[in-house]
Chains A and B, each alone.
Chain A
Amino acid sequence: MAEVINDTSITKIKVQKSLSPWAVARRKFLRNKLAMVSLFFLMTVSILSFLAPYITTADITRVNIGSMSLTPSSEHWFGTDKSGRDVFTRLLYGGRVSLLVGISCTLLIITFGTLIGALAGFFGGIVDALLMRFTDFILNFPLLVFVIVLNAVFFGKLGGVPVLIAVISVLGWGGVARLVRSKILSEKENEYILAAISIGSRPAKVIMKHLLPNVLSTIIVQATLTFAAMIVVESGLSYLGFGVPAETPSWGNMLAASREPDVLQNMPWIWIPPALTLVITILSINFIGEGIKDALNPKSLR
């Protein structure tokens, strides 16, 4: 946090000079209380999750018959689940998996979607037609249905988190590609692109150096929204039993315990922590996204 405060003091001194667009955006974002609180929450959750092995000592995999379904106490903060595993510990480990799946899918989807969208938008013509038909084709697959089917295909052969990430990403990039294409299409009409092309810049350079930086703000906002959506997808699939393998804790898997009416009715401490953590995490990411969108929009007043 110390660095962040330092940053604002520096930008305040430079106010007279007129700020760079990024500095303006950063200042707007730092003033957005909701976004800052969300960012703080998200960072806390991430740090706690990724340091889970150092914070907690309880074993998450061992079934402990002696301490089954205990109510919350000073020893087990959120109680234990039906197999006697500490809910708090599982929550932290679950966060690792859920956030990891979310981030990996987002990175893959954004990278691939941007690549396809940029190529289609920049080259136009036959390249555009082919790539966009392919994108339409991908977009026509109902994501949830096909992830479930693909998971059944890989069942037993290749399982686990990497396959889940790959499957979600392969089916999920269509929307980003369309968005980036439309942004590139309108951006490339500008004179500076014509200038760059006429002095002989290669297409790769025009796209990387001139076009992408100018659509970056859209991509960043889209990335935060995708991140939230991917966490929803992962935990939804895990809840249905088609996501992360059951033995790996994830927020969705923990929530899946509530599919037993007995747990749902009588042991709320098992499913309320993952449910609330999920809701607050998703809300935080959305608030951060809105904050970034607001900050990067030169027309917004704040």
Chain B
Amino acid sequence: MTPFLEVTDIDIAYPPKRVVEGVSFKMAEAAIGCLLGPSGCGKTTLLRAIAGFEPVQRGLIWLEGVELSRPHWTLPPEQRRIGMMFQDLALFPHLTVADNVAFGLRSWKAAERWARVHELLNVVGLDEYAQRYPHQISGGQQQRVALARALAPRPRLLLLDEPFSSLDVALREDLAHEIRAILLREGIGGLLVSHDQFEAFAFADQIGVLNQGRLLQWDSAYNLYHRPADHFVADFIGQGVFLPGRMGEGSRVCTELGDIDGIPPAGCAPGDPVEVLVRPDDVTHDDSSPLMAEVVERAFRGAEFLYTLKLDSGARLLCLAASHHNHQAGQRIGIRLEIDHLVVFQRALGAMNEA
């Protein structure tokens, strides 16, 4: 299968600063992806380059086998057939909801145009608001209008630049699910930019984690969580702590919690210092376990407690325990490690203070 969207080794710079460096990834047709990263990591710039608003200094962007961007050449945004939902929505304040949605359909015949407008307003549940102006509807409704407007001309790909960031958390995930469903139904691919991993998990099948302009990993949410490719991804996705250890024989890693089987990073010799990623759900509470730790902090999460534990060595650990295991700070509790895939990174000297 040839990839639908293909981003190959691109650099984007606002001289003298390089904002995106050597990013490559591929997406299949009608696939839904997400670029995830902290603010300032270059994810929005990357998205804008795909939309055609930023030129690339190096590399290529292809869509459906057609070149969109190369150094010193950028196909104008209006010729890319890529829709975009903006962070500030950018609805046209002087046009009604219906005219906003119809805006991208200027070349269509009137009958087809209005049929499409009503079809989309029905999809997003706003047909009765067609004659309102954007300032006369709520934030969530504006979001839907922006979606309908972007989808109306049947783009090949929809780019979403943190469009949910102005909404409250509950509405955010609902809308992410809803838009995902609409995209799947319309058979349009989507690429979301977000700094919120739960939004990313709710929306996308494939997620790319960016930091400081580099794409660290392009993978499924499951793999990002369980098989992070590097220290930053492991730290950024989900919670967890890095426990220092040392490589033993074969695939054994020796830690203060005992020897654990894991896949050693390439080029690791026995005796090398390593760190082991321990997620809160890898640590279970077991009163009968000989391994003891002191409760330092606890956070009630409803169904469970998130305990911060201190080991005898002083290292910290997070533990997720069912909420009927109610322990106070200062208590010593028994714990057990239940790690399916052990994530081991080579420990650089001086990286000890992380986590």
Q: Do A and B bind each other?
A: no
